[in-house]
Structure 1
Amino acid sequence: MRNASGMPGGLVIAAPASGSGKTTLTLGLLAAYRAQGLDVRAFKNGPDYIDPAFHAAASGRPSFNLDSWAMDARHMAGLVSTARDAELIIAEGSMGLFDGVASSGACSNGASADMAAMMGWPVVLVLDVSGQAQSAAAVAKGFATFRPDVRLAGVILNRVASPRHEALARVGMEQAGIEVLGSLPRQTDVTLPERHLGLVQAGEHEHLQAILSALAAFIGSHVRLERLRQLASGEVSCGPLPFIAPPGQRIALAQDRAFSFMYPHLLEQWRQAGAEILPFSPLADEAPAPSADLCWLPGGYPELHAGVLANAGHFQQGLRHFARTRPVHGECGGYMVMGETLTDADGVTHRMAGLLGLQTSFAKRRMHLGYRLATLSGPMAGREAGQRLRGHEFHYATITAQPDEPLAYVVDANGAAVPETGSRRENATGTFFHFIADAT
């Protein structure tokens, strides 16, 4: 069903907490609807850069992040408008439905509930009912009434142990007046392996399409697909995709298993602004294209490939040559590779490109996680001193040396200064946060 603006209806797949089965259900729904011939589009709440690649593999269409802390309402609506020709929108939530940071950013605090309220998408709550039965209905009832502007379409019971277990849980939902849209039995034969930043990347799965086909069959057998389509709705109006100035006209972009954490919405908006993306693979010992006017090294898992990168002489030499005359910017993993050394989890130190003096180590892992608001102290690729950027940091590296000038004054979502200021030296800049949007 389309709204008055011609946009297709949508649903938010949410849960009370992480690990409840949101991603499994989302991928299964996308693959199942695609198998039916539907044009289904996916979105991901929050700054996750791994799940959208799985969404794209399951739906056959790009998936973009929606982030109410980093983006304003116009930006989010513009991204959703890219799905105006679709037949159904499935948006995967993050963490628990109402979980966000303590203070608001560009629009709100980043919670999946804010996305649901802004877009008018009903919520399908995935409930892990292992260890409970009728009591699950009390949880669902609380989620249904917690915020009047968030509408609960119904629940999908997950990790159901037996038909009797399912019957008891359904009794509770019926008493609470909550519709059960599906019931997923415990199963371990269709799983996606995880790594320390989330799922193992989509590009690393040799048999991903077979896994998605199995998920589609599993979800299709236990979820009321047609009823979900009937419940999908939305209030978002069509709008243009907001302009985000690309960092250059011709952008040499590192892309392989070591450099894959790039937000899809940025690439789309850079292309819409007229930029040309020139991919290259450092792991294949490729250097940035000489015709590019800027080089961008995204994050990823360089610590898993540090030995290969240290011996990629053509890549390192080409990157250093490029940086003599043109900007090079690295985010997180890309920033580490621009530094002097990277010490892996086994304590082995590898020589990196040396564009910056940064030295990092995974020998003593420590998680760094959270939104970042940065005010640039000097110019960065495509941005001037004084400009403010919104981003997100998520890594386990420890800084052992950061001798260069700080790139920015960086604070977290609560306004507290963080020591990961980024670095700048001549044409080289780097940050530990991943850029999401310009701050207004």
Structure 2
Amino acid sequence: MAAGLVISAPASGVGKTTLTLALARAWRNSGLRVQCFKSGPDYIDPAFHAAATGRASVNVDSWAMDRGTISHLVSRGIDADVVLAEGSMGLFDGVAARGVCGTGATADIAEMLDWPVLLVIDPSGQAQTAAAIAAGLRDYRPGVRLAGVVLNRVASPRHEALVRRALLDAGIAVFGALPRHAEISLPKRHLGLVQAEEQAEIGKLIDEAARFVAEHVDLDAVLRSAATWSPHPAASGVNVTPPGQRIALARDAAFSFVYPHMLEAWRAAGAEISTFSPLADEAPDPVADVCWLPGGYPELQAGRIAANARFRSGLRAFAETRPVHGECGGYMVLGTALTDADGISHEMTGLLGLETSFAKRRMHLGYRLAELAAPMPGHQAGARLRGHEFHYSTIVAQPDTALAVVHDATGAVIAETGSRRGQATGTFFHLIAEDR
């Protein structure tokens, strides 16, 4: 039997990821088997989770996935001693319109699994008001239970005492208080994202976070607050069809945004995956029957991609006879041109007529529901695909035939429809699951 706990907060940027990694590593160092999950569409945190625990982490998402899929993914924690689900944004933050089995809020996962929530609260600029916020979160939604609170970035012992007293008066357990400690802050980058594999010192960073948290948080009390949990057998797995039997997958610093559950579902269905690096000027496996270019940071590497003739010619040759699909950054590389942040235009592969610009920055963020107007690898025309979009690039031209009618979570039609031309298809959204 495992101990299940959800780690959440009132908002983003409070310290959920740092606390999750620290708890996971501290318990692992004590000999416990720890399994992590990420609630919501985040490609970055699962890699950090894996670095902390030594076990692969996956996303669970109440807007895009049904209960069977979530149960199937969470069941990987069956042999763990502790299972942690890290939330996204604030505890109740989701979209206005309900998706498959929820709004995408962390609270959906907490209620579905019946796991209590460990809140991370940053009381900077507050004292007793922090207790009012915690009490409001505790009482907001029946079915969501609060285990207690860890305070982060407390200014002084006096500040801590004021906040602790208010929380205890409100009947809320305080498991610890972390003073400001810049050395364990995870770095950010131009999109607010940084990948675990980009951190040469990630192991040392997590070890320092674990040491620091163990000094200031009652780890035994946190563990006792978790729910005793045993997964129920899942009726079904992830509803994702592999795009082919043998998949050539672009995989390097420019093409790395792939949800882990997608690759696992492809392999579970019998598909073989061979990786290649466009940045190393490698072409896709010539014996593969489909090529998949995921998202990432091609705008940071646009000059190298444009100069890599072997990759570009190899991909064009591949697309003459077999399908090629790109997601987000991969979609941009399938296009004609990509303008970087400095306003320099770089020639891409030209399999699609898409032209994009990172110089004209505008955030595109949110869930997407696409109904395919034409087939794409792994999915037939008419399929309803659920995914997530996050990029700052602007479409300069999208002249090819639309791949799908795409709606946001409110039902509004959006302009990022995806494209198709010949054997090439692409979308700006990252696929999470297909409606059953």
TM-score, L = length of structure 1: 0.97
Tell me what 1:377 maps to. Answer: 373
Determine if contact 1:285/1:315 at 8 Å carries over to the other structure: yes
Structural mapping, 1:158-307, within 5 Å: 158-233=152-227, 234=229, 236-239=231-234, 241-307=237-303
Structural mapping, 1:17-56, within 5 Å: 17-56=11-50
Q: SS of 2:183's equivalent?
A: coil
Shift, 1:182, TM fit: 1.4
Tell me what 2:311 maps to. Answer: 315
Tell me what 1:95 maps to. Answer: 89
Shift, 1:102, TM fit: 0.2
Tell me what 2:352 maps to. Answer: 356
Tell me what 1:324 maps to. Answer: 320
Q: CA-to-partner distance for each residue in 1:172-219, whole Å, 9 max, x for gaps?
A: 111101100111111112222112433311111111111111111111
Letter in 1 for 2:298: P
Letter in 2 for 1:43: F
**Shift in CA distance, 243/418, structure 1 to aligned 2, threshold 3 Å:** closer
Separation of aligned partners in 2, 1:148 and 1:384: 41
Q: Are 2:329 and 1:333 equivalent residues in the alignment?
A: yes
Q: CA-to-partner distance for each residue in 1:322-345, whole Å, 9 max, x for gaps?
A: 111111000000000000000000
Determine if contact 1:197/1:394 at 8 Å carries over to the other structure: no
Letter in 2 for 1:54: F
Shift, 1:58, TM fit: 1.0
TM-score, L = length of structure 2: 0.98
Tell me what 2:384 maps to. Answer: 388
Shift, 1:241, TM fit: 3.1
Q: Are 2:130 and 1:136 equivalent residues in the alignment?
A: yes
Determine if contact 1:343/1:363 at 8 Å carries over to the other structure: yes
Separation of aligned partners in 2, 1:149 and 1:110: 16
Separation of aligned partners in 2, 1:236 and 1:127: 29
Shift, 1:235, TM fit: 6.8
The structure 1 residue matched to 2:417, chosen from 421, 427, 430, is 421
Gaps of 5+ in 2: none
Shift, 1:116, TM fit: 0.4
Determine if contact 1:243/1:273 at 8 Å carries over to the other structure: no
Determine if contact 1:121/1:235 at 8 Å carries over to the other structure: no
Shift, 1:410, TM fit: 0.4
Q: Are 2:105 and 1:111 equivalent residues in the alignment?
A: yes
Q: CA-to-partner distance for each residue in 1:14-65, whole Å, 9 max, x for gaps?
A: 0001111111111111111121121101111110111111111111111110
Q: Are 2:427 and 1:431 equivalent residues in the alignment?
A: yes
Shift, 1:94, TM fit: 0.6
Q: SS of 2:381's equivalent?
A: coil
Q: CA-to-partner distance for each residue in 1:244-266, whole Å, 9 max, x for gaps?
A: 21111111101100000000011
Q: SS of 2:342's equivalent?
A: coil
Q: SS of 2:138's equivalent?
A: helix
Structural mapping, 1:45-84, within 5 Å: 45-84=39-78
Determine if contact 2:239/2:435 at 8 Å carries over to the other structure: no
Shift, 1:166, TM fit: 1.0
Q: CA-to-partner distance for each residue in 1:382-430, whole Å, 9 max, x for gaps?
A: 1111111000000000000101000000000111000000000011000
Letter in 1 for 2:233: C
**Shift in CA distance, 87/238, structure 1 to aligned 2, threshold 3 Å:** farther
Separation of aligned partners in 1, 2:3 and 2:199: 31
Q: SS of 1:296's equivalent?
A: strand
Determine if contact 2:28/2:53 at 8 Å carries over to the other structure: yes
Q: Which runs of 4+ in 1 moved over 4 A?
A: none
Gaps of 5+ in 1: 3-7
Letter in 2 for 1:294: V
Q: SS of 1:380's equivalent?
A: coil
